[in-house]
Structure 1
Amino acid sequence: MRAAAAPSGAATASGARAARPPRPATPTSVIDAALRADAAEVTRLLALPAGGDLVRWWSDLVAPARSGIASRTVLARPGDEPDALVVAAALAVLRERSGRVPRHPSRRRIVLLLAAPGEPRPLSLHVLAGALADAGVDARVVAGPTGRHRLLEIAAMTSPSAVVLLSEQTAPDLGLVGAVAEAHAELPVFVMVPDEAAGEVPLGHQVHRVRTVPGLVHEVLAVSA
């Protein structure tokens, strides 16, 4: 006995769903996937092909998506954290990307990147490190305690070509900037902070405030070439 055929309307709808192309990667599509707690879709949307521009990926996709998520008020279930999904997917992209950067014994001195004391390391710090690595710079994110003595000790051991300090706070602790500048007068120090904290940056001959990740990449590369 022949099985009954599915209604033509149902078959058409099913086929349309199967043939529907995946959503393009836009800040809105990333936000929607993160709010649905769809980790797989967030990962797909944030995937970056080999050779893709990391800074543009950050500026055009990741940063706007995170800003959009931060502006939403949601009633999340336990364990659902939309921004954490985006951060996890972005960090995975950066880890995979850095694994393809060739290591060469003639590489110049390293660049040290750190967050202001007492602050979590911002995702932009890792993006900056990844962009510098793409350009052949041995960029290292300083993890763990970064007090004055510890940072000066690391700087003495590594002889970096530059130090970068990032903060997303409006009143960051920038004491380390002055300490590094005093101990290493010729070491370029770059600081990226919100506009509200600009007046707290101890600008000097080798201390510079930079406002954007693309600008920071450009400035650091200029002293690391």
Structure 2
Amino acid sequence: MVVAYYSTHTPPAEIERLTSYNFSCFTQLIACAHIEDLLPASKEWHLYDEYQSSPTVPIPPPRPESSYAKMPIPPPCSNIPVWAHARDVRYTLAVEVLPTTADDQKYDPGMAKVRVVTSLKEPAPWLPGAIVRTYHYGNGSIPPEKDGELVSGKRFIVFPVGNDERHDIVTKDSPIKLERCGVLEDTPEIRRELEKGFAQNDTLKP
């Protein structure tokens, strides 16, 4: 597997080059054997030896466990433009946060309960009117930022974790799992920025 990250200032032509896959790998008689066959742009990265599957660059020794406690805190979510979020996420929902009881949070104090108002991007499994358990997910010991808290009685835009890796299929009965920067206030300004990102979204549906 290879993951390519690029800046929000990356020229469109470069983004297209970095995401131009050779999908004939899936249909040709002899399947592709290397990442660079599927993603030609990765040839210059020298990820793998020509005839072996081992990395060409030696794997560094594992860090002592104590060093993980000193890992830098990620940059503020406010440093990521709203339109960039909207362009890259799979689902975007407008939700209303409902009150929770002690029983609701008995096993998960960080859980919130929301009513789905509408889906703003592609159709999501959670239908309008559905009441769904919601929590932050996949951030280890890094808590959500203060601005990322779901406050009862308010409306928010949320970016649920989708089933992009296909190992955790999302259905209408699934809880909404949020990344660290997955919550925004539902304001006219935010919605205008969302529309800018939706307009840039890659329409390729492999």
Coarse TM-score class (shorter-chain normalised): under 0.3
Query: Per chain length, whose mean CA-contact separation is higher, i.e. which structure has more relative contact order (CA < 8 Å, sep 6+)?
Result: 2
Q: Which has the larger radius of gyration?
A: 1
| Structure that is richer in helix per residue | 1
